[in-house]
Amino acid sequence: MSLTSASVFLVLAVLSFETQSFNATTPGCHLHPFNVTIRSDRRGTCRGTQVINACVGYCESSAFPSKYSVLAASGYKHNITSISQCCTISKLQKVKVHLFCGASRWEEIEIGSAESCQCATCRLSRY
């Protein structure tokens, strides 16, 4: 059994996560490791686990009265300007996961894991 791109999509669709509670008292945006279990299908024909990293934490955001030029350009409807930052992955690394398929047969896939994190402008397209 060879994992095609279609089955990799299926693999990623049936991920299950196990994580320890994150201590949010540490300020900022940080790497946080967690275990991921990957199965090739719902029956777990091929299965493997791997520790990967996610970016967790918080970043500064602010809101302030808009400048006159912004007010005028918006027809005096945009009276508050906000700047938001989100904790995001700044560098991604590929991690190989070995999936055991039974009868001493193994498959290997690559998944993404955060290598470093940063506070950056929040954008819906990232999530």
pLDDT per residue as tens digits for the range 19-60: 444 454 567 999 999 999 998 877 878 999 999 999 999 999
Other C-beta atoms closer than 10 Å to the C-beta of 105 total 10
Per-residue CA distances from 30 to 19, 24, 87, 96, 102 (Å): 15, 10, 8, 22, 37
Sheet holding 29-39, edge to edge: 16-18, 29-39, 47-57, 85-100, 106-121
Q: Could you tell me the pTM of the whole model?
A: 0.64
**CA-CA distances (angstroms) from residue 118 to 40, 71, 84, 96?**
32, 31, 13, 24
Q: What is the pLDDT of residues 62-85, one digit of tens each?
A: 999 999 999 999 999 999 998 889
